Amino acid sequence: MTFNLPIIPPRQVTGLAGQGASRGGGIEIPIYYPATGQQISTLIEDGSAAVAQAVAIARDAFDKGPWPHLSVEKRMEVLEACRTKILENVDELARLECAATGLVLKELKARHMVRAAYNFRFFAEYISQSKGEAYTQTDNYITTVTRRPVGVAALIAPWNAPVALATMKIAAALAFGNTCVLKPSEQTPLSLARLVALLNDVLPEGVLNLVNGRGPVTGAALVANPDVDLISFTGGTETGRAIMSAAGQNLVPTTMELGGKSANIIFASADIERALDGALQGIFSNNGQQCLAGSRILVERSMFDEFTARFAERAKRIKVGDPLDDATEVGPLASAPHMNRVLSFANMAREDGGSVLTGGTRRDDLGGGYFIEPTAVLATSNADRCAQEEIFGPFATFLPFDDIEDAVSIANDTQFGLVSYIWSYHLPTVMQTQTHLRSGVVWVNTPMMRELRAPFGGFKSSGVGREGGASCERFYTEEVTTSTPIKPVQLRRFGAET
Ligand code: NAD
């Protein structure tokens, strides 16, 4: 079986570190189309000199450029222009993203790119509402607290939803007056390279820069650069640890949006049809590669067998295949090593005493692409590796529970704490469960629903800090306290006595 390419991508992808900057200097990294396994492009890595140059350009644009000092109205206009650029180029951006990630094109166009455009509108509207503080506790002083941009923002993105995730960071950083250096994942640089070029048509020179390459090379050079003032990172937990250590050397603030192993808790008091749809959507959306996947499905024991059987039956019928086909529900995984890692968890589940309900094998009939069958396993306990480790694929792990206490105890028994899902129409059950869950977000009777005004982020190894309206404002700005006397105040007159 062969699949057409979504687009003919550029032969080479390089960083875009402003005008006059040298590019590359590092190795060539092949980019593959996950649906076929064929090489479709080559990334030229930015070495430390190119990264230093990109940061210097962003520094200059911050220190000397107009961007941090533009009026809110002017900045809103530019953010709106960014939104328009994305909306005018949805098809091309979605196809480039599909080419490197294997995500289903229809989903990319309908959800990811629309959301990417909205990220700019959201922050444009947000800054129009931003408030400061003023204190007048004493008769003689007014003290104000205002917010200023922090400076040069290093934005580091993962491969699983490059444009949607990176635009959250770019839009927020720019809206609050910072300049940026973006580093996409070396696996999926195509769509973000095009996006940065498009946005640079409407942004002032040097405000948004792009460096490309591997994490330990290009990424490490970026986060260690003393001219970087803040780091916003989305990616794996181990990488987050490395970046926070590096950030500690320069004492720069970080936000860490990291991995998850989220519990999807289904009580017998749920609307079972909706819970079944929600559980399938929660683990198989985005080809199963999402931080907020409901990857541990905890089902009340009284209906465990029936629920898992029905889930497996539906999972078997999921349409796996060509990302360009509108009927496709799950496309290929992002890379060959990732596919092999995901599949290895089916064997681990068996070795740990569990069983494979459905899936667990590669779809060889679909050619050389990285397709696997949507998979569901029964774990023997929450200590099993398939219940503890983030698998990051279309792979659900089931466990039964007896009551609220049991469900909460299993849900919390993990290093992660990103999101949780609760399915029940019994209000006390929902509230008691919600109160005890240790995760940053709880969704009740719904799959993922992102409210951009509300904080998003994790407990424990799922992250540090939050993204979302006010959380982003706090992160991307510094508070400045200014005290001014209303009328001349009595001063101590050192040295005035003769
Ligand atoms: P990753 O940690 O391997 O890479 C993420 C980014 O960090 C890439 O750009 C990579 O090149 C860079 N990087 C790697 N090492 C670095 C270093 N030492 N210094 C600087 N940069 C470095 O993650 P991934 O495999 O691309 O993405 C999958 C992970 O991302 C999963 O764990 C997933 O849960 C997580 N994720 C979290 C969220 C969230 O909002 N919490 C959202 C999406 C993905």
The single-letter DSSP state of residue 27 is E
pLDDT of residue 192: 98
Same fold for the domain at 16-258+462-482 and the one at 263-444? no
Taking CA atoms, 385 is separated from 237, 344, 459, in Å, by 17, 11, 20
Whats the size of the chain, residue-wise? 498
Ligand 1 pocket test target in 115, 156, 342, 390 with most atoms within 8 Å of CB = 156
Specify the 3-state DSSP secondary structure of 45: strand
Of the candidates 30, 40, 28, the residue with the CA atom closest to the CA atom of residue 3: 40
Q: Is the CB of 209 under 6 A from ligand 1?
A: no
Helix, strand, coil tally for the chain in percent (to 5): 40, 20, 40
What residue segments make up the domains of the chain, in order of their start?
Answer: 16-258+462-482, 263-444
- Return the active site residues: 257, 291
Q: 236 CA to middle of ligand 1, Å? A: 4
pLDDT of residue 1: 76
| Closest Cα to atom 11 of ligand 1 | 215
Task: Report the Cα 427 to chain-centroid distance in Å.
Answer: 31
The reply to whether CATH 3.40.605.10 applies to domain 16-258+462-482 is yes
Task: Report the Cα 120 to chain-centroid distance in Å.
Answer: 16
Q: Is the CB of 29 under 6 A from ligand 1?
A: no
Helix (H) or strand (E) holding 297: strand 296-300
Q: Is the CB of 236 under 6 A from ligand 1?
A: yes
Nearest ligand 1 atom, CA 243: 19
Q: What are the residues whose beta carbons fall under 8 Å from the beta carbon of 306, sequence distance 6 or more?
A: none
Q: Are 241 and 274 in contact (CB under 8 A)?
A: no
Distance of alpha carbon 116 from alpha carbon 92, whole angstroms: 14
Q: Is the CB of 243 under 6 A from ligand 1?
A: yes
pLDDT of residue 93: 98
Ranges of residues in the chain with a pLDDT under 70 are: 17-22, 138
Distance of alpha carbon 59 from alpha carbon 46, whole angstroms: 18
Q: Is the CB of 345 under 6 A from ligand 1?
A: no
Distance of alpha carbon 262 from alpha carbon 260, whole angstroms: 6
pLDDT of residue 22: 57
Angle at 262 between CA 457 and CA 283, to 5 degrees: 110
Taking CA atoms, 128 is separated from 71, 79, 84, 472, in Å, by 10, 12, 19, 14
pLDDT of residue 15: 82
Q: Are 254 and 464 in contact (CB under 8 A)?
A: yes
Burial of 261 (0-12, 13-18, 19+ CB in 10 A): buried
Query: What are the φ/ψ torsions at residue 466 (nearest 5 degrees)?
Result: -140, 155
pLDDT of residue 20: 47
pLDDT of residue 17: 58
CB crowding 357-366: b at 16 or more within 10 Å, else e: bbbbebbeeb
Superfamily of chain region 263-444: Aldehyde Dehydrogenase; Chain A, domain 2 (3.40.309.10)
Q: Is the CB of 159 under 6 A from ligand 1?
A: yes
| Closest Cα to atom 40 of ligand 1 | 257
